[in-house]
């Protein structure tokens, strides 16, 4: 799979002309925030045209894929842009990381993640963190070694038992397990950066210290992580994603996360709806996001505006009544969710909906 840090290599073959320059301009204007950059190489040497057996210019190669011209230049430009966007999207979703604490809730989240990974054809990594052992240095060293060895076996058995109970989830059988020592949120964030294109899938509640939808570990990870976080409600079971609702709020943020959202839509082939909860004296237009989704996925996304004083209660209600499989929200750069997800909204989210929530951070 392509690496998110590697540029998309685009070779443009031709001589300066109106069609050549318009194609070049469109390629250079493609969004780069939150996606691999486009590295454009211009080839104007006629001998190279012949060597590549190019009979008509301008012609374009995206990584190793040729996009040859047709009679409709506007259509050709669209084909080139779509090929580039697909290469960008491939690099944005490559791995699934699932932190577990061996609770029933993490068992449910892991099964959900396994189904998600299997449908998208992605590798699955299971992470368990052992909290540092308290005591004297000598005792701590011995206890930690013994505890990690035992816990590692427990984690492997935990995953093996789930795989046996759910034989249709082949991704569980192939899952990689990791057991580490440290603070759970710190380890999750560290491992989320280990491989490009990672999505973290976590349970909404856990054992003991994680009591609400966004408890201490979940909220800490969401606020600090630079990768998407998918929160799975405790009683939610995985089913194929056929409808995605994106909660639009800030047009600038929407546009920056549009490529990753496009990748999700392309992977799942889901129906997509952009929903905005209208507030007093507020203007919001999803048109740029809708057009980007259409261009990148070749699917038509719809938009819907609802009213409600409590944004998240209104979203909950809409998701429940519209058959939504996945709710997607963006977290603006530098913004934490403590103030946004106030107590009443958290309670509403945890008690009134079974819809998994994917939070995409603005880069």
- Give residue-wise pLDDT tens across range 35-77: 678 889 999 998 888 888 888 889 999 888 888 888 888 888 8
Q: What number is the average pLDDT over the span 221-235?
A: 84
- Give residue-wise pLDDT tens across range 287-343: 888 888 887 777 888 988 887 667 777 888 888 888 899 998 887 765 555 444 444
Q: How confident is the model at residue 211 (pLDDT cuts 50, 70, 90)?
A: very low
Distance CA 108, CA 112 (A): 6
In the chain, ranges of CATH 3.40.50.620 domains: 95-232, 243-361
Q: 38-42, 156-160, 217-221 — which is least confidently predicted? A: 217-221
pLDDT of residue 347: 38
pLDDT of residue 5: 61
Tokens 């604490």, located at residue: 101
Distance CA 331, CA 219 (A): 12
Which tokens in the block code for residue 283?
A: 């203007």
Q: 94-108, 126-140, 182-196, 341-355 — which is least confidently predicted? A: 341-355
Q: How confident is the model at residue 176 (pLDDT cuts 50, 70, 90)?
A: very high
* CATH number belonging to domain 8-91: 3.40.30.10
Query: Three-state DSSP class for 47?
Result: helix
pLDDT of residue 205: 56
Angle at 101 between CA 95 and CA 129, to 5 degrees: 70
pLDDT of residue 196: 80
**Per-residue DSSP letter, 283:** -
Distance CA 201, CA 64 (A): 33
Q: Answer yes or no: are the C-beta atoms of 94 and 117 closer than 8 Å.
A: no
Q: 76-85, 112-121, 139-148, 156-165 — which is least confidently predicted? A: 139-148
Q: What is the pTM of this model?
A: 0.75
Instruction: Please give the mean pLDDT across all residues of the chain.
Output: 80
Q: Is 317 exposed, middle or buried (0-12, 13-18, 19+ CB in 10 A)?
A: middle
pLDDT of residue 63: 86
Chain centroid, CA 185 distance in Å: 19
Helices 184-192 and 216-224: angle between axes, nearest 10 degrees = 30
First to last CA, the chain: 22
pLDDT of residue 225: 84
Please check the confidence at residue 124 and state whether its pLDDT lies above 90.
yes
pLDDT of residue 90: 73
Q: How confident is the model at residue 216 (pLDDT cuts 50, 70, 90)?
A: low
Higher local confidence (pLDDT), 245 or 86: 245
Higher local confidence (pLDDT), 280 or 230: 230
Q: Minimal CA–CA distance to 44: which of 30, 59, 29?
A: 59
Across 101-115, 139-153, 193-207, 288-302, which has the greatest mean pLDDT?
A: 101-115
Q: Is 109 exposed, middle or buried (0-12, 13-18, 19+ CB in 10 A)?
A: buried
Higher local confidence (pLDDT), 311 or 241: 241
pLDDT of residue 210: 35
Please check the confidence at residue 353 and state whether its pLDDT lies above 60.
no
Starting at the edge strand that comes first in sequence, how are the strands of the sheet with 38-43 ordered?
38-43, 8-13, 59-62, 65-67
Q: Report the 3 state secondary structure along 113-177.
A: HHHHHHHHCCCEEEEEEECCCCCCHHHHHHHHHHHHHHHHHHHHHHHHHHHHHCCCCHHHHCCEE
The CATH number of 243-361 is which of 3.40.630.30, 3.40.50.620, 3.40.50.300, 3.90.380.10?
Answer: 3.40.50.620
Q: Is 211 exposed, middle or buried (0-12, 13-18, 19+ CB in 10 A)?
A: exposed
Higher local confidence (pLDDT), 335 or 146: 146
Q: Which residues pair with 199 in a beta bridge?
A: 96
pLDDT of residue 97: 96
Tokens 């505006």, located at residue: 305
Query: Three-state DSSP class for 248?
Result: coil
Q: How confident is the model at residue 144 (pLDDT cuts 50, 70, 90)?
A: low
Distance CA 52, CA 44 (A): 12
Please check the confidence at residue 1 and state whether its pLDDT lies above 60.
no
Q: What number is the average pLDDT over the span 132-160?
A: 73
In the chain, ranges of CATH 3.40.30.10 domains: 8-91
Class of domain 95-232 as given by CATH: alpha beta
Helices 258-268 and 73-92: angle between axes, nearest 10 degrees = 90
Please check the confidence at residue 274 and state whether its pLDDT lies above 80.
yes
Angle at 26 between CA 290 and CA 13, to 5 degrees: 140
Q: What number is the average pLDDT over the span 271-280?
A: 83
pLDDT of residue 33: 60
Which tokens in the block code for residue 245?
A: 């609702």
């Amino acid at each position: 799979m392509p690496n998110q840090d590697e540029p998309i290599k685009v070779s443009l073959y031709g001589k300066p002309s109106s069609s050549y320059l318009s194609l070049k301009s469109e390629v250079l204007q493609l969004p780069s925030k939150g996606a691999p950059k486009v590295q454009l190489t211009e080839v104007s040497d006629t001998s190279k045209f012949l060597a590549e057996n190019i009979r008509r210019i301008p012609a374009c190669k995206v990584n190793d894929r040729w996009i040859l011209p047709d009679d409709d230049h506007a259509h050709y430009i669209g084909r080139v842009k779509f090929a580039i966007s697909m290469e960008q999207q491939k690099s944005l979703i490559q791995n699934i990381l699932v932190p577990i604490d061996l609770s029933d809730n993490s068992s449910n989240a892991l099964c959900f993640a396994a189904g998600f990974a299997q449908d998208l054809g992605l590798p699955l990594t299971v992470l368990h963190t052992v909290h540092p052992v308290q005591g004297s240095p000598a005792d701590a060293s011995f206890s930690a070694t013994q505890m990690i060895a035992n816990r590692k076996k427990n984690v492997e058995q935990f995953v093996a038992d789930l795989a046996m109970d759910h034989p249709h989830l082949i991704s569980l059988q192939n899952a990689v397990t990791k057991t580490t020592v440290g603070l759970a949120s710190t380890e999750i964030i560290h491992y989320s950066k280990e491989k490009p294109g990672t999505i973290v899938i976590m349970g909404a509640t856990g054992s003991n210290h994680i009591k609400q939808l966004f408890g201490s570990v979940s909220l800490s990870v969401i606020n600090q992580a630079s990768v998407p976080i998918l929160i799975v409600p405790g009683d939610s079971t995985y089913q194929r994603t056929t409808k995605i609702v994106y909660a639009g709020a800030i047009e600038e943020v929407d546009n920056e996360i549009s490529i990753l959202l496009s990748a999700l839509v392309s992977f799942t082939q889901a129906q997509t709806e952009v929903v905005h909860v209208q507030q007093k004296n507020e203007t919001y237009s999803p048109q740029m996001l809708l057009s980007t989704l259409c261009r990148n996925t070749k699917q038509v996304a719809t938009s819907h505006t609802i009213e409600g004083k409590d944004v998240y209660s209104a979203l909950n209600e809409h998701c429940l009544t519209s058959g939504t499989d996945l709710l997607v929200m963006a977290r603006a750069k530098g913004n934490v969710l403590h103030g946004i997800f106030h107590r009443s909204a958290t309670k509403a989210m945890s008690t009134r909906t079974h819809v998994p929530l994917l939070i995409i951070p603005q880069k």
